[in-house]
Structure 1
Amino acid sequence: MSTGIVYGVGLGPGDPELMSVRADRLLRTAKHVAFFRKAGRSGQARRIVEGLLPDDAIEFAMEYPVTTEIPLDDPAYNKTLSSFYAECTDHLRRIAETGEDIVVLCEGDPFFFGSFMHLYTRLKDRLTVEVVPAITGMSGAWTATGQPVTWGDDILTVLMGTLPEATLREAMTRSDALVVMKIGRHIEKVKSALKAAGKFDAAWLIEYASMPQQNVQKLSDAGEKVTPYFSIIVVHGQGRRP
């Protein structure tokens, strides 16, 4: 018996209408569907596809054992997540070895800072794995501002808010356009780095890009509120143009 295919399906930034035709087709015919979520939550990827899956689809929720409970630099963090991804991989492999295909839901693009990559690297040499690319969350965010993010020869840098402040500041200083992701509880550090780089007043905060609750505002107008997980900061480039 031939093995099934594992599809890493990018869902785009959040609006189901921004998914690809291929993603929509795979979702509507899926027998097995897997997705990541935080324990006790429905999961953003699963919410995006509500109403698109067959009624008899068999769902497999992969619940993260940790999110922010353990510092990223603690060896226990990598050890815990590595075991988790190995368990998820084994589950998907057992299904595929029965000849059944599996659709893994991926927020944004599967190969852009997504959890699916950890499954892909563990499965690609053992099974057929196909990746369906998608619009990234950051593309949805800068589009929501109504301004081009880069012009001419602008250098665009994508940063994680989890980075040390000195690293953020250095990268921000030498770049023309910026995208800062994974902000959450790192917002004050990110703000401080933007100010030191002289880019704070030009920064935009986009919450829930392309989703019904989307909110777009200058970062300087956001006050002291805590940003949700689905937040991205954008600084537009102002480079060469005709």
Structure 2
Amino acid sequence: MTTGTIYGVGLGPGNPDLMSVKADRLLRNAKHVAFFRKAGRKGQARQIADGMFREDVIEFPMEYPVTTEIPVSDPRYNEVLSAFYKEVTDHLIALAQSGEDVVVLCEGDPFFYGSFMHIYTRVKDVVPTEVIPAITGMSGAWTATGTPITWGDDVLTVVAGTMEKDKLVEHMSATDALVVMKIGSNYDKVIDALKISGLYDAAWLVQFATMGKQTVSKLSEVTDKVTPYFSIIIVHGHGRRP
């Protein structure tokens, strides 16, 4: 029996029109489709792909056992997530070994801050695995601002809001252009770091980039400290140009 393939399919920044042709083709023809979600939720990736599945599709929702309930620094966090990834990858591997192809939906690009990476490292040496790259959420966000993110020799730095504040300040202070991911509950810390590094007044907050609910605002004018999952902060570079 021929072994099936596990495909990590990047869906892009959130607008199905920005999905690659290959991603679209694989998704529409997939018999088995897996996706991450919080318990009781539809899942962001599943929402993006809504209406694109074939009628007889077999869905495999992979529900996170924890998200913010346990601090990342707590040893239990890795223990719980490791057990979760083993359980779901065992299922995906079994499907592939039975001859079935499986499409795993990935928001943005599969190799950029995505949960699929934890599946990939566990399956790539066991069954055929292919990654379908995609437009990143940050690309959709800086395009939404209507201003190029980098010019000439500008250095672009991407940081996660989950970092310690002093590390955020260090990276922010040393760069020309900036993208801040994973804001959420780290909002106040990120704001403080931007102010200390002198980038606060130049920062933009983009929410739901490329999607119907997209908003683009100067960060200094934002009054709501609650940022949705699809939120990215952008600071443009001002480097060399003709």
TM range (shorter): over 0.9
1:232 shift after superposition: 0.3
The amino acid that maps onto 2:112 is F
Is the aligned partner of 1:204 residue 2:196?
no
Cα distance in structure 2, aligned partners of 1:239 and 1:52:
42
- After superposition, give the CA deviation of every residue in 1:51-83 in whole Å (9 maximum; x if it has no partner): 111011000000000000111111000111011
Residue aligning to 2:184: 184
Is the aligned partner of 1:118 residue 2:127?
no
Q: How does 1:151-166 map to 2 (within 5 A)?
A: 151-166=151-166
Residue aligning to 1:226: 226
Residue aligning to 1:235: 235
The amino acid that maps onto 1:144 is A
Cα distance in structure 2, aligned partners of 1:229 and 1:130:
27
Residue aligning to 2:62: 62
Cα distance in structure 1, aligned partners of 2:18 and 2:200:
30
Q: Secondary structure at the match of 1:127?
A: coil
The amino acid that maps onto 2:48 is I
1:226 shift after superposition: 1.0
Cα distance in structure 2, aligned partners of 1:141 and 1:192:
22
Cα distance in structure 2, aligned partners of 1:38 and 1:224:
24
Gaps of 5+ in 1: none
Relative to the length of structure 1, the TM-score reads 0.99
- Percent identity over the alignment is 68
2:187·2:225 contact (CA, 8 Å) conserved in 1? no
The amino acid that maps onto 1:185 is S
After superposition, the CA RMSD in angstroms is: 0.6
Q: How does 1:1-242 map to 2 (within 5 A)?
A: 1-242=1-242
The amino acid that maps onto 1:49 is A
> What is the count of residue pairs matched by the alignment?
242
- After superposition, give the CA deviation of every residue in 1:10-35 in whole Å (9 maximum; x if it has no partner): 00000000000000100111000000
- After superposition, give the CA deviation of every residue in 1:94-140 in whole Å (9 maximum; x if it has no partner): 11111010000000000001000000000000000000000000000
1:2 shift after superposition: 1.6
2:37·2:61 contact (CA, 8 Å) conserved in 1? yes
Cα distance in structure 2, aligned partners of 1:228 and 1:111:
22
The amino acid that maps onto 1:189 is K
**After the TM superposition, which segments of 4 or more aligned residues of structure 1 sit over 4 Å from their partners?**
none
1:224 shift after superposition: 4.0
Cα distance in structure 1, aligned partners of 2:7 and 2:228:
29
2:6·2:127 contact (CA, 8 Å) conserved in 1? yes
- After superposition, give the CA deviation of every residue in 1:149-206 in whole Å (9 maximum; x if it has no partner): 0000101000000000000001000000000000001111000000000000000000
Pair 224,212 (structure 1): closer, same or farther in 2 beyond 3 Å: closer
The amino acid that maps onto 2:23 is A
1:225 shift after superposition: 2.8
